[in-house]
Structure 1
Amino acid sequence: MGMLNGLAGAAGIRLAEAEGFGLNLDILETNVINLAIVVALVVYFGRGFLGGILEKRKDAIASEIKEAEERQKKASAQLAQEKEKLAQAQEEAKRILANAAESAKTTKEQILAQGKQEIERMKASASQDTTSSEERAMAELRQRVAELALKKVEGELESRLGNDSDAQSKLIDRSISLLGGS
């Protein structure tokens, strides 16, 4: 209990066994003077030390603020440059899109013109094929007509001449004389 009273006395509180807790107003016993002396010494001697530390800290903070402002200015300048580059890139993209649209339109027109030419060529080719097919059919038809006419003539000759060899020899002689023979 003696130790507890010593600690309590240093804090300005007195423990009384029968009385309970109470406040000790004796200045010498409570070490208020000692505490005031220590605070005064810390303020007197620590002022220069703490002032130097605080001044260095203030200068470091001011320097950091100045550097941060410079970095902010550089970042703002760089942001402006990048925005300008972005605007230029967007303009370039618009120009490229316009060129691509014009190129696509020109290419489309060329393809359509080539398609029309190809259609005309195919029509002409089909017309030629039709004409040549008609000509072949006509030639074939003429040949068949000539063959039929020859067969009919042969049949007619055979029926008129029959088996008569005298009529046959007269016909041969007359044909030779027409051709210029003797």
Structure 2
Amino acid sequence: MVSSSVKKHYINSLSINNIVNLLILNSLVFYFGKQFLTKTLVARQQKVFTAIQEAEKQLELSKLRVEESEKQLEQTSLVIKQIISEAENTAQKIRASILVQGKSEIDRLALTTQNSIINAEVQIKNQIQKHIVSIAIERVSIKLKQAITAEQHQLIIDKNISKLGGL
């Protein structure tokens, strides 16, 4: 039994020694690792803090850009509305101008047509008058031929020649 109690004592002593060694090791790691770990954590914290500040700056810049873009969009919308308004006004003016020109062209065509009709009437009247005169002369000639003798005819011809300053 002695050997069993020595074994137990040895195991207990070994366990205690292991626990003490672990405590010492943990204390050393904590003591020496604390500085390293603190430096690492402080550096990391600084990087995170810097990254957050940069992100906040970028956010502010983005907000400013969004506001500027919205202002530009509003200005562009106003310009587009103004252009549309001007285009509509121009279209109305052009439409009115086309109507005035169309009316003027219609009036001109009506006047030209009326003048053409008047000219045609004058030409027709002249032709009718010429035809009537020609028919009248022909009838008079026929009646004169029937009513005038050769001597009377020669006498008329001589009178007309002498009037012309004849022979």
The TM-score normalised by the length of structure 1 is 0.72
Q: List alignment gaps of at least 5 residues for structure 1.
A: 1-25
Task: Map 1:66-105 onto structure 2 (within 5 A).
Answer: 66-105=53-92
> C-alpha distance in 2, partners of 1:76/1:180?
114
Which of 26, 35, 51 does residue 48 from structure 1 map onto? 35
Q: Which structure exhibits the higher relative contact order, with contacts defined as CA atoms closer than 8 Å and separated by 6 or more residues?
A: 1
Question: Aligned pair count?
Answer: 152
Task: Map 1:116-135 onto structure 2 (within 5 A).
Answer: 116-135=103-122
Q: Which has the higher strand share?
A: 1
> C-alpha distance in 1, partners of 2:64/2:39?
37
Report how far residue 145 of structure 1 moved: 1.2
Report how far residue 39 of structure 1 moved: 4.1
Note if 1:145 corresponds to 2:114: no
The aligned amino acid for 1:168 is H
Q: List alignment gaps of at least 5 residues for structure 2.
A: 1-10
> C-alpha distance in 2, partners of 1:172/1:71?
124
The aligned amino acid for 1:123 is A
Q: Residue 44 of structure 2 corresponds to which residue in structure 1?
A: 57
Segments ≥4 residues shifted beyond 6 Å: none
> C-alpha distance in 2, partners of 1:112/1:169?
73
Note if 1:165 corresponds to 2:150: yes
Report how far residue 48 of structure 1 moved: 0.8
> C-alpha distance in 2, partners of 1:57/1:180?
138
- Tell me: CA distance 1:50–1:180, structure 2 relative to 1, closer, same or farther (3 Å): closer
C-alpha deviations, 1:12-67, integer Å up to 9, x for none?
A: xxxxxxxxxxxxxx5748x9646665444332321111111011000110011011
The aligned amino acid for 1:142 is Q
> C-alpha distance in 1, partners of 2:95/2:75?
30
